[in-house]
Structure 1
Amino acid sequence: MTDRQHDPKGRVQPDYDELQAKRYGRQVRDWIQYRDEVLAGDPDSVVPSEAAAAILGLRLQDLVSAMDDGRLGYKEIDGERIIRVADLQVAFEKDQRRRQEFADGWSQLQAKLDWDE
């Protein structure tokens, strides 16, 4: 989410980046800067699974499932799974499109409900 969303009861939902920053003990701008630096980095560089999960907003076990299913490419070095930045960029872009489609659909639904009242 790029801006704050409201749930059906009108409560403000926290911004995604705020949640991730809080989860990893960083300031929001530091979190966004870290995420953007990783995503803008060399496509052939790699990041550890934990960082990839955080950037994608996934639990580590969900990221591992995506790797096991073949939905996310990875390399295994010394028993640790690492993800190429290029694969992370593709997954992040897909996730952003999915989030935007959800937000657009939610806005359309809210507008329709407001119209019907």
Structure 2
Amino acid sequence: MTDNDLRSDALPTTVRGFLAASTVHDADRASSFLVEDIVVVDQAETFRGRGEVYAFLRDAGAEFEYTTEQIGARRVDDDHWVVTLRLEGTFPGGVAELDYRFTLRGDLVSELVIANHEA
């Protein structure tokens, strides 16, 4: 197995915990994995600080039904990880593959960039 094809259990606990919580729309739990000055960029929209990011986590995709499957993961270095998720559901287009680019600071996420998957 290469760094470009990591299993979920090879990801840092923080990344696994955040993804598990956000997949079930648990904004309270997902927020527990974030630093206070977290920055999240989702499709070019930026959210800063736990308050804004909490609202984003609570509301993102709430109007749609969808499933999430991890289809890839890689370690860039000790503080940077990329997880590719495939979403299928009732949103426009019905299918999306997104890269979640995590930056860690200690045991917490300090930045998350969500963008279309780069093949």
**TM-score, normalization by structure 1:** 0.29
Q: Which has the higher contact order (CA 8 A, sep 6+)?
A: 2
Higher alpha-carbon Rg: 1
